[in-house]
Chain A
Amino acid sequence: MNAEWGMMSAWREARGERLWGRIRPLALTLPLVCLSALASTDGAAMAQHALVSPQNLRVIDTPSEAGGGLTVLWSKADYDAPDVRYQILIGEGAEKKVVAEFAADSHYVRDLKWPWWSRPDRPEAHQFNLRSGRGLELKNGTSYTVAVAVVKGTERAETPPVQAIPEPNWVNWNQMNNLLLVLLFGAVVLGSIRTAKQRDIFLRRIPGLDAVDEAIGRATELGKPILYLTGAGDMSEPSTIAAAVILGRVAKRVAAYETDLLVPHRDPIVMAVCQEITKQSYLEAGKPDAFKEDSNFFITTDQFSYTAAVDGIMLRRKPAANFFMGSYFAEALLLTETGASTGAIQIAGTDSDHQLPFFVTTCDYTLIGEELYAASAYLSREPIQVGTLRGQDLGKGFILVVLVLGTILATVGVLFSTDWPRIVLDLFKDLK
């Protein structure tokens, strides 16, 4: 700096003080003029941006819904910031009212839980979902006028209004991955059944089901009855259906040994179905005369009244074997602990994961979750049934691969702040 100043002084001396006097005002004012010009350009640009209304406004009927919803979409703007606010206006005619107001750096399409194939716009675009509630009622088939306004301090700019009509939809596109995977799994199961018809498929041992014969044999030797419970569910639950199907297999063997069978029920429809199943099993075993109509009987639909009654049966009749199949709630331990106190051999099978610890601790054998559904195939050994087990195993293998792949992709997405892993992850999202 000092050197420069020295050079300047020398130059001044060489050219004379007069020339410097002429250019000095220009040299001092030029940067100031440039700076002020720049500043005024910036200010003008900012003022201009703040006043520009939201661009590319679109209002569509909210897809994949039962109607009564509109989705408002518009482009991201340069002025999107926490101190700038968007207002959503809606009305049936020309008159509109503000129904929502939020910060301009929120409500992006990427925030929606919709998968990529049903997203209505690019992830960086803005969205707002209008639906009935809180002073707003959207009727299907009615035309609404929607506008979006941007507010910054005292400035406000509003888009031209757009018309839209909410309509009920026939397809929930968000769940299409669900349908696709069910169809895929269905095809795998049916394919496995076909394979099972052509060649033998290995079935791993399930000790709980191997013990069924042992339990029935023991009851026969002791001359005591067998108690079979189908759980708390009704006939619409897969676990109850599985329990009823296993009852058929158990009843067939019970019929062969001519042992007493007691099946108390909580649901009259389940009772009626189980009566038919038991009757058929006795017929198939060639012992129709041994069938007793009242082996299946109804107690009550009330949880603890039923439990008290079954506990009473256990203590009075002292069954040699107790089967607990189906779904259970708080009564599980009350039943199995009473059964354990009578010294009966106990086999449980349930998909009620919250009751599994109680069954495991109090029963001799427990069919955990899917084993309940596998029981029918295991006991019958029919190729068509065994094939479904193979299908389930292939399904589990597929899920295992997806879990590993999904974990890797989700990690990559977070580490590199990238969005492309969602293309794969969304395919397996929200599966029910």
Chain B
Amino acid sequence: MIFLRRQLPLVITFVTGVLFTAQYYVPHPRSELMLTEVTKWLQIIGGFALVLGVTSLFHIHAVKIRRKEPGWGYSLVLYAGIFGTIAVGFSYSFAAGQWVNGKETINGIMTAFGWIYLNMMVPLQGSMFALLAFFIASAAYRSFRARSREAALLLIAAVIVMMGRVPLGELLLPVSGDITQWILNVLNASVRRAILIGISLGAIALSLKIIFGIERAYLGGGKE
């Protein structure tokens, strides 16, 4: 049992880790084929894992409804949404004269399933994304208050960059465009690259630790 829970995953991790690190340096079509095959395996495993995920979702919300926890009404909406969409996805489209089978349009005719996606899902996603503009404004307001020297510097840089990015700003302060480019291309890009170098080294070190079995916490346990 310990072998199955500990040693076997470590062996699989080591072998696949070394194999796919080497794959990066092998341009042969067989190497590409191997990568494609394994990617398919991952998709299949992902499909099975989705069953786990949906089971977890149903379980959590079933418990909420049963216990009448605060907000249990939303769980009912979730169930209605899931089963309603599944039913519509498998329904018969009289307009198109065939079964929907999860298609959004059939011969150019929008199905009920497509209607749900286009008129409910897309606007809801758009609304969530649109909130971002307001959240940026509120976050910027809190951050750009010049309470310290650093915050003041941030405020000045932000004002210049904002002016340099809009036509009106450049009209009022013509030099803002050039300063903005300098801030973005020199200050911002150099710091970003420094962060990326650190991230890359961290990611390589973590990968090495995992491949060589030094880091085992992802297996559900610490050192052993």
Contact = CB atoms under 8 A, between A and B. Distances in A.
Contact of A358 (B45, B74, B139, B192): B139
Interface residues of B, number: 65
A294 B143 contact: no
Interface in B101-142: 124-125, 128-129, 131-132, 135-136, 138-140, 142
B25 interface: yes
Contacts of A298: 52-54, 56-57
B201 interface: yes
Given A245-B215, A294-B60, A308-B128, A175 B202 contact: no
B130 to A, nearest CB: 10
Nearest to A240: B218
B50 interface: yes
Contact of A361 (B60, B63, B143, B210): B143
Contacts of B221: 277, 280, 284
Interface in A342-379: 351, 353, 356, 358, 360-362, 368-370, 372-374, 376
A372 B202 contact: yes
A279 B221 CA distance: 9
Nearest to B48: A268
Interface in B207-224: 207-210, 212, 214-215, 217-223
Contacts of A391: 205
B224 to A, nearest CB: 10
B204 interface: yes
B27 A168 contact: yes
Interface string A54-70: 00000000001111000
Given A67-B28, A238-B206, A242-B202, 16 more contacts: A66-B29, A170-B26, A171-B26, A182-B204, A268-B49, A269-B46, A271-B56, A294-B63, A304-B128, A340-B139, A353-B195, A353-B196, A362-B142, A370-B201, A372-B202, A388-B214
Interface of A: 64-67, 168-172, 175-176, 178-179, 182, 185-186, 189-190, 193, 234, 236, 238-239, 241-242, 244-245, 248-249, 265, 267-269, 271-273, 276-277, 279-280, 284, 294, 296-300, 302-305, 307-308, 312, 316, 330, 333-334, 337, 340, 351, 353, 356, 358, 360-362, 368-370, 372-374, 376, 380, 382, 384-385, 388, 391-392, 395-396, 399
9 cross-chain pairs, A with B, having the tightest CB-CB distances, nearest first:
A276-B220, A268-B53, A373-B202, A298-B53, A370-B198, A304-B128, A370-B202, A268-B49, A361-B143
